[in-house]
Structure 1
Amino acid sequence: MKNHMNRRGFLATTGAAGALTFLGPKVLRAQDNGTLRFGLSTYPPSFDVWASNGTSAGTIKVLCHRGLLSYDKEGLVRSELAESWDVAEDGTWTFKLRDAKWHDGSPVTAEDVAWTVTEAQKPDSAAYLQASLATITSVETPDEKTVVMKTSEPQAVLPEWFANYNMSIMKKGSERDSLMGAGPFKLVSTDRGVSVTVEANPDYYKEGLPKVSTIEAIVYADENLRVAALEAGDVDIVEYVPWQAMEQVAENDALKLDTTFGPFMYLTFNASKPPFDNPLVRRAMGHAIKREDIAAAAFYERGAPLEHLPLPDASEYYNAEFANAWNYDPEKAKSLLAEAGYPDGFNCTMLSTAQYGMHQSTAEVCQAYLSMIGVNVTLDLPEWSTRVKKGNEGTYDIAVMGTAAANNDPDGLATVLDGSLSPSYARSYGMETPEISEAFAKGRASFDTEERKAIYKEMERVAIETAPIMGLCWREQGYGMAANVSGFSNLPGQLTFHSGFTLEEAMIG
């Protein structure tokens, strides 16, 4: 029997209740003045509230900003500036705002929400979710606390857009890199390249939060120094615990490790020019690389081969028949290169970064295996902000990338697959994906689970043939923290990079 759901039924499965809601020393130094020190892996390339600039940038943004919605510790959509939301049978979404204030003391209004959506959906906005927001045809504000959004066609996943940490609501007229928001903390100071300090917002709309008076985010770009700072008690939490240090952190009684399995490593391609404009060449890259060696070299066995689209096998959208579609098969790789007109291989440049060991190690393994099929790779390993810039501009031939989907729904993969979106370092450059773009549009418009499964299965079939990206390896993602830190949580699966949402609940002691 076909499993058919209406719009309300679909939303109920996402967690609605009532209103829709979607190595070193063992003794650490005590913290002073309610200050929590957070070890960042890099200084944010930008504080642009709607752009994607990596996890460190996202963490700082969610300290100061909030969207209509966010995610709870179980990964379900929850209320933020919107205390309730609902969808009509025609696909119209209505959000009711709570009483909230901007950091300057003025009230958050429906007009602010409308301005935010209008600005972010502009074709030249470079917003992470610009293409999705472009389907919103009108934003009505019948009163100061009500926002009504109409879309060109029903959008089942619209709440996920407004839970994403790159879609915070801004006060009307704000500069895009402003940290003046409605979040739990207010900006105190920035020291470019070194630190960002925020203090508790006394007007925050959640009673009793945040639980610390100050957060000092300190940059430790060197991953070994980041771990050493945690062990020494110089910081209370660090992001991106390097995989070689995870066991060390976990076994230290003064520390604890919080990991999740969901992020993944993959290759992107510059499809605006030969040879990577040819899908046969892109597929050859996948068949040339033995992914177990990436899991071992880059992730110290805390990874697993990824030979298909990054849909986890626990997902109801997982397709077992595609599980090994991009398997290690060097003879097939050579055959595909010959068919594409490159029987003797070619030379190319691979973009990665030396700032994160797993990126560099992944690139080195790929370089070694590609040489075996005649593809001579020169590595380009700049620091992270330059790597982002080069990826956005298409200044590369092939690139190593690591990320997580925007959310745990298959639609979250649009950010790495959909070539109709504005250029992003997370996607292949100059890659047109008409069938995949159409599939995402169909999937968003459907509230029928079985219909969505069929849509995304066909999308995966097309992706296997056209290789808009090339999956390499799943990876564990970990935060390390002092044993006396509580409240902070690594969000599950693909949402790990949104874990900064829980810093409002973090406390020491």
Structure 2
Amino acid sequence: MSMTIGRRAFLGSAAALPLLRVPARAARTPGTLRFGLSSYPPNLAPWLNAGGATGAVMTLIHRGLLSYGPDGGLRGELAERWEADGKDWVFHLRDASFHNGNKVTASDVKWSLEQVAAEKSTAYMRTQFQNVERIDTPDERTVRLVMRQPMVTIPEWLANYYMPIVARDSIERGGPGIGAGPFMLKNMERGVSIDLARFDKYYKPGLPKLQAIRVVAYADENARVAALQAGDVDLIDYVPWQSMTGIEADPKLRLTTQNGPFMYLTFNGKSGPFSNPLVRQAVGFAVNRDDVVRSAFFGRGAPLSGVPLMPESPFYDKARAEYFRHDPERAKALLRQAGFENGFSCTLLSTAQYGMHLSSAEVVQQNLAAIGVQAQLSTPDWATRVSLGNRGQFEIAVNGTAAEITDPDGLSSVLDNELAPSYIRSTGFSVPKLHALFEAGRGESDPAKRKAIYDEVQQLATEQAPIVGLCYRAQGYAMTSDVQGFTNLPGLLSFFSPITLEEVAFG
């Protein structure tokens, strides 16, 4: 029996078992939400990408200039309003305070943004902010980004949870800094839990509604679900797909899902077979995406056979979106053309901490074996997997993410591997012209010209395969039925949903 079939049979049997219960639900401290998180954050240093678990906590202790509202639209946070002034962007700050009681000022914003763009910065958004020539602060409530070139996507990038504003000079030894979010960091038990308390000087009247949030890490997805069912936690992220049906059927629980996050493969092209785009294309045609959706996501998803643009996007190209159909014979022909007629061996990096990552890797492993590529799985814990990816210590890897902004410029974070090294994109090779196209797209305001630019982006992404898509997946949060006010943000923005915890109360 194949590995994937065996895993599917086991999970299918487990899903059919009765839901586990304890006689009485665990006592809840009044006003405290217990959040079962899928991983303990590898770190809480601002401006770094350390995965969705880190992002969830960052949205609780920090705020940026902008964010996304429950409807997925841009909204002001520390900036109450903003506007373009020619090629520049001007942000007008609201009356807000940091957790140390000091007011949020233009100098704090200037300092934070300068840390992101600094020469030796390791910030995830460093490249996006290289187009800022300087930051002017005409007064303590006004910030002007003086741009070298027009950049129409600045507001969306500033809405990302990787772009918090922290109090000036408050970063020590890689710590989280002093934020202005709805909750204050009170206690951390490394690898286990994080305790947050309500910030009484939060700038939104009446918010947050909760008095505290206790974040508890449950790396094992079945344990995370069991904790919710037993009443040990009130909300969980990353609901495993095999558990969704049971949760939907439980009147004491509520499930909310969004399609938008996606699974894909990245490559290390520094040397070896994956430096050849024909080999990367061969991988694209080798993958049976329907099997990935069935095995890893229990049918709750959709194949991703091209660039991850949703059909409702005005930039969507159906032909490119469906390019990498399952075609093993074409994959073998591409390997022969690349000089690998007899195949080759490699290591496929994934993680056992998230079942969908492991199941996706198992399907890919089998699909590659069918075209003569023998992939040995490497499945460390999530923090190690992130570290290996950031250091480029892999050959081919399974990943999952969502575009960080709704504009197609958001695809640059996964497609443009000329950006600073990150586990979410390929490494060791570049796609000529792709970086320049993204730069042109984010500076162009004419819709027709932007569409032409992103048509070319999709063509290059198909020909050069800097990533290979696997599938879209339903991203779920589950909670007890009395948790009111939490919203799973639409589509690609699902990972940003913990920002709505400021609105949560028990009903």
Q: How many Å separate the matches in 1 of 2:119 and 2:458? A: 28
Q: Which residue of 2 aligns with 1:35?
A: 32
Q: How many Å separate the matches in 1 of 2:420 and 2:138? A: 32
Q: Which residue of 2 aligns with 1:235?
A: 233
Scaled by the length of structure 1, the TM-score of the pair is: 0.94
Q: Which residue of 2 aligns with 1:131?
A: 127
Q: Does 1:226 align with 2:227?
A: no
The within-5 A match list for 1:46-445 is 46-88=43-85, 90-175=86-171, 176-445=174-443
Residues 473-482 or 447-456, more deviating:
447-456
- Cα deviation, residue 228, structure 1: 0.6
Aligned CA RMSD, in angstroms, stands at 1.1
Contact 1:487 1:506 in 2 (8 A): yes
Q: How many Å separate the matches in 2 of 1:230 and 1:52? A: 27
Q: How many Å separate the matches in 2 of 1:380 and 1:25? A: 34
Q: How many Å separate the matches in 2 of 1:156 and 1:77? A: 14
Tell me the amino acid that sits aligned with residue 159 of structure 2.
A
Tell me the amino acid that sits aligned with residue 65 of structure 2.
L
Query: 1:245 is paired with a residue of what secondary structure?
Result: helix
CA shift digits 1:262-314 (9 cap, x unpaired): 00000000011111110000000011111100000000000111110101112
Query: 2:247 is paired with a residue of what secondary structure?
Result: helix
CA shift digits 1:140-185 (9 cap, x unpaired): 0000000000111111010011100000011111215225211100
Tell me the amino acid that sits aligned with residue 150 of structure 1.
V
- Cα deviation, residue 257, structure 1: 0.3
Tell me the amino acid that sits aligned with residue 79 of structure 2.
A
Contact 1:199 1:215 in 2 (8 A): yes
- Cα deviation, residue 453, structure 1: 1.3
Runs of 4+ displaced beyond 3 Å: 24-30
Tell me the amino acid that sits aligned with residue 114 of structure 2.
T
Query: 2:375 is paired with a residue of what secondary structure?
Result: strand
Query: 1:377 is paired with a residue of what secondary structure?
Result: strand
Contact 1:490 1:499 in 2 (8 A): yes
Scaled by the length of structure 2, the TM-score of the pair is: 0.94
Q: Percent identity over the alignment?
A: 49
Tell me the amino acid that sits aligned with residue 235 of structure 1.
V
Contact 1:28 1:254 in 2 (8 A): no
Q: Does 1:463 align with 2:461?
A: yes
Q: How many Å separate the matches in 2 of 1:41 and 1:139? A: 38
- Cα deviation, residue 31, structure 1: 2.6
CA shift digits 1:217-246 (9 cap, x unpaired): 001110001001011111110000000001
Q: How many Å separate the matches in 2 of 1:339 and 1:217? A: 52
Q: How many Å separate the matches in 2 of 1:98 and 1:294? A: 47
Contact 2:167 2:177 in 1 (8 A): no
Residue segments in structure 2 that go unaligned for 5+ positions in a row: 1-18
- Cα deviation, residue 28, structure 1: 4.7
Tell me the amino acid that sits aligned with residue 463 of structure 2.
E
Q: Which residue of 1 aligns with 2:16?
A: none
- Cα deviation, residue 369, structure 1: 0.9
CA shift digits 1:50-102 (9 cap, x unpaired): 001111101111111000001100111101000010001x2111000011111
Contact 1:262 1:404 in 2 (8 A): yes
Query: 1:501 is paired with a residue of what secondary structure?
Result: helix
Equivalent pairs counted in the alignment come to 486
